[in-house]
Amino acid sequence: MDIPADLETKINEAISHYPVSKRSAVLPVLHLLQHHFGFVSEEGVTYAAEKLGLEPINVLEVVTFYPGFRQCAPGKYHIRVCRTLSCAMSGSYELMDKLCSEAGIDRSTVTHHDPIAVSKDGKYSIEFAECLASCGFGPVCLVNDEFHEKVEPEKAKGLLNQYS
């Protein structure tokens, strides 16, 4: 696996935050890999395991448990729409539908184990997220690392236009 030098530096720095047990660095190392490559690949799992002196299964079980880790590439802009009660009450399901129709995303194949749907051109991908903790100002969503509040369904197009 080709790990650029600056990524390697960040990974080593992250591992140094856990002086008692290197295994604690599994999540941070996976975050760094995912941030760089877009998702965690099989090679990524092996690399992280070797780096931390673990068996690959110790890393893979973490990747498959946490919704925050992906095993396939998302779109250039990955959107996470909050699905939970307060946002749903303020229209997050409608927002999801609107975003999908505007971005040309088909969510019919989405399942619990494969929650991400990607647009045909690969520009956008979308999934529902559970409570993003801004319940008073719903519907809310995350686009990559940027957070958006009060995204009423009619603002879907405007939101997508910010990321093109």
Nearer to another protein, 36 or 83 (CB): 83
Site residues for another protein, 94-123, by CB under 8 A, read 112
Measured from the CB of residue 120, what is the shortest distance to another protein in angstroms?
26
Among 8, 67, 104, 162, binds another protein (CB under 8 A): 67
Q: How far apart are CA 55 and CA 49, in angstroms?
A: 6
Q: Which two tokens stand for residue 18?
A: 């856990």
Q: Is the CB of residue 82 less than 8 Å from the CB of residue 129?
A: yes
Q: How far apart are CA 76 and CA 2, in angstroms?
A: 21
Distance of CA 122 to the CA centre of its chain: 15
Measured from the CB of residue 146, what is the shortest distance to another protein in angstroms?
8
Among 3, 7, 10, 28, binds another protein (CB under 8 A): 28
Is residue 79 at the binding interface for another protein, with CB under 8 A as the rule? no
